[in-house]
Amino acid sequence: MTLIDRIRTARATPWVIGGALILVFALLPVLNLSLPGVLPGATYTPGTLQLLAFAMVFATLALSYHLLFGVAGLLSFGHALYFAVGAYGLGIVLRDTQLALVPAMGVVLLGAVVLAAALGALSLRVTGIAFAMVTLAFAQAGSVLVRRNAAITNGEEGLPLEVANIPSELVGVINTRNLYWIALGMLVVVFLIVTWFERSRAGHVVVAARENDLRVRVLGMTPFSVRLITVVLAGTLAALVGMVYLLLQSGVTPAVTTPDFTLTLLVIVVLGGVGSRWGAVVGGLIYTLLDQRLTALSRSEAIADLPDVLRIPLSEPLFILGTLFILVVVLLPGGLAGLARRATARLARRRPESERPLEEAR
């Protein structure tokens, strides 16, 4: 095998592994697999499929945030706003119009594009921490609008899903597997879109602008334009995820409009590894599963029987998640993706000398 063939094989390996994992996840609803302590039941049960679909929703949302933070280097505290636009927007359109599901989603996506373009154009007038504060202000304003306009958004009670114009195959616990497959399909499509953007000319320019803004300007390119494209794409994808979330949860609450929701995405991206698409996906899946299962663990008899010095902190899932996050940041630079890269490099050093040029060529 020539060196070029080895390089092509090495580049194709992650995609082959990814394709195999997609096939496995697609078959889970028809399999009878159990992971005690990780999943609440067998993989074909509605409760487990709901949890896995919820995890994939967060993984997809983390991918959209990866475009901002990992690719463009933009620290945003307002990404939850676009997710909320998708969820609340679809809920309101379905409730107040006679549009079917797909046309309603198209209307909401168009609105998300316009909103992301307008807010992005304003936010990108500043950089660094000022950009983060501006996006935080927009997110706070959106949260207030949702909470204070009960006639439109149902206020603190949350907006239930109106199912009159939704296909019956997507309604009810018995159809959870269909929503699971939709969540999986959305994850795959968004991953491919993010990959395409990163490898496009605009993606290369926005990465260059992240590293050296002045040099990009000297070369005659406009960092503002490619950053705006990135913000619009990330916001539109987040709105798409919000719509699937609405279908999966049969409603939405004001909790998704808060800046804390965006901070969760930041934690997921850092946990998976900043700048890594696979890291964002794996981080989203692991974080969501931990968040859901640690709640059950904190209420278990094993924790209740511990001394107060251990029982009190361990009975708080956020304490455990926070501790795990600190350990990852301190002990695993680069997150889970960094750990995988170091493990691969360690294995490469153990290979015979004849195979090492492949690693050097990468």
Task: Pick the closest to residue 137 from 78, 216, 224 (CA basis).
Answer: 78
Query: How many Cα neighbours within 13 Å face the side chain of 362?
Result: 15
Task: Give the model's pLDDT for residue 49.
Answer: 92
Task: Give the model's pLDDT for residue 261.
Answer: 87
Q: Are 105 and 90 in contact (CB under 8 A)?
A: yes
Mean pLDDT, rounded, for 339-346: 76
Separation of alpha carbons 320 and 237, rounded Å: 30
Q: Which residues contact 43 (CB under 8 A, 6 or more apart)?
A: 28, 29, 31, 32, 33, 34, 49, 52
Instruction: Return the number of other C-beta atoms located less than 10 Å from residue 138's C-beta.
Output: 20
Q: How confident is the model at residue 5 (pLDDT cuts 50, 70, 90)?
A: low
Mean pLDDT, rounded, for 112-132: 93
Q: Are 42 and 32 in contact (CB under 8 A)?
A: yes
Token pair in block for residue 220: 């005659």
Q: Give just the sign of the alpha carbon dihedral 151, 157, 158, 161.
A: negative
Task: Give the model's pLDDT for residue 10.
Answer: 57
Separation of alpha carbons 220 and 41, rounded Å: 57
Task: Give the model's pLDDT for residue 3.
Answer: 52
Task: Give the model's pLDDT for residue 361.
Answer: 41
pTM of the model: 0.88
Residue 1, pLDDT above cutoff 60: no
pLDDT digits (tens, 9 = 90+) for 19-64: 888 898 999 898 888 887 778 888 889 989 999 999 999 999 999 9
Q: Which amino acid is at 298?
A: S
Range of lowest pLDDT (11-20, 116-125, 171-180, 327-336): 11-20
Task: Pick the closest to residue 209 from 190, 230, 194 (CA basis).
Answer: 230
pLDDT digits (tens, 9 = 90+) for 68-103: 999 999 999 999 999 999 999 999 999 998 899 999
